[in-house]
Amino acid sequence: MIRIAVDAMGGDFAPVEIIKGAVLASNELPVGLTLVGDRPTLEKELSRYGKKGEISIVHASEVIGNDESPVQAVKQKKNASINVAVSLVKKKEVGAVVSAGNTGALMAAGLFGLGRIPGVERPAIAAIFPTPSGPILLLDMGANVDCKPKNLVQFAEMGSLYAEHVMHIDKPRVGLLNIGEEKEKGNELAVSSWPLLKETKINFVGNVESKEILSHKVDVVVCDGFVGNLILKFGESISDLIVSLLKKELTKNFVTKFAAFLLLPALAGIKKSVDYDEAGGAPMLGINGVVFKAHGRARAKAFKNAIRAAHEAVREDLVGCISKMEAA
SS3 284: strand
- Minimal distance in Å, beta carbon 225 to a second copy? 8
Count of Cβ atoms closer than 10 Å to residue 38 Cβ: 19
- Near a second copy by CB under 8 A: residue from 116, 214, 296, 317: 214
Is 259 near a second copy (CB under 8 A)? yes
- Residue list 183-212, contact with a second copy (CB under 8 A): 186-188, 190, 209-212
Scanning 11-19, 92-100, 233-241, 278-286 for contacts with a second copy by CB under 8 A, the matching segment is 233-241
Q: What angle do CA 218, 223, 224 make, to 5 degrees?
A: 165
Q: Which is nearer to a second copy, 212 or 316 (CB)?
A: 212
- Residue list 109-138, contact with a second copy (CB under 8 A): 132
DSSP 314: H
- Minimal distance in Å, beta carbon 173 to a second copy? 18
Is 247 near a second copy (CB under 8 A)? no
Distance between CA atoms of residues 296 and 102, nearest Å: 8
Q: Which is nearer to a second copy, 121 or 249 (CB)?
A: 249
Please enumerate in sequence order all residues whose Cβ is within 8 A of that of 81, keeping only pairs 6 or more positions apart, or say none: 7, 8, 9, 10, 36, 37, 60, 62, 63, 64, 99, 101
Scanning 27-35, 238-246, 293-301, 315-323 for contacts with a second copy by CB under 8 A, the matching segment is 238-246
Question: 185 burial class (0-12, 13-18, 19+ CB within 10 angstroms)?
Answer: middle
Please enumerate in sequence order all residues whose Cβ is within 8 A of that of 328, keeping only pairs 6 or more positions apart, or say none: 201
- Near a second copy by CB under 8 A: residue from 40, 252, 326, 328: 252
Contact 149, 295 (CB under 8 A): no
Binding interface with a second copy (CB under 8 A) = 132, 142, 145-146, 177, 179, 186-188, 190, 209-215, 224-227, 229-231, 233-239, 241-242, 245-246, 249-250, 252, 255-256, 258-260, 262-263, 266-267, 269-270, 273-274
